[in-house]
Amino acid sequence: MHKAIAIVALFLVLWTIKCRAQTLEQNWESWTPDSTNVVIVHWSDIQDTPNWNVIDEVRPARHLQTVGWILYAGEDLKDAGHNILVIARTYDAEEGRWAEYTVFPAGVVKRVERFRVR
C-alpha cells in the first residue's frame, strides 16, 4: 500500500513539473536560467555489496540531492513507458547553451523542490 501511495505521489510531482518543463521535442535549448526553475532533486541511489557479505553489513539506499535547472519531466522518448526527469547543472551564458545534464529515472526521485531565481 505504501509503495502505491509513493508511486501516485511521484506521478503528481512529475506531472506538475511537466506542466512547466514541456517536452524534449520543444525548444528548451533556447531557454535561459531566467525562463525555467531551479530545482533540488531528492533521490535515492542503490548500494551494491559483494554477495559474500552478511546481511547486517548491507546498507540501505543512499539519499542524495542534486541541484540544477529543470528542462524536462515526462516520458522518455527513447524508452516508451518510462518517465524521466532531466536537469542541467550548468548554463554557459557566453555560448547560450546548457551543459552537465543529469537524467533521473522517475523511480529514484523522492521529491523535487522548485525555486524561482531572479
Model confidence pLDDT, tens digit, residues 68-82 = 999 998 888 788 788
Say whether pLDDT at 50 is over 90: no
Residue 110 belongs to domain with CATH number: 2.30.30
Rounded Cα distance, 114 and 42, in Å: 11
Q: How many domains are contained in the chain?
A: 1
What is the chain's mean pLDDT, rounded?
Answer: 78
Query: Vertex 82, ends 102 and 77: CA angle to 5°?
Result: 75
Q: Is the pTM of this model over 0.75?
A: no
Q: Which domain holds residue 33?
A: 2-115
Q: What secondary structure letter does DSSP report for 25?
A: T
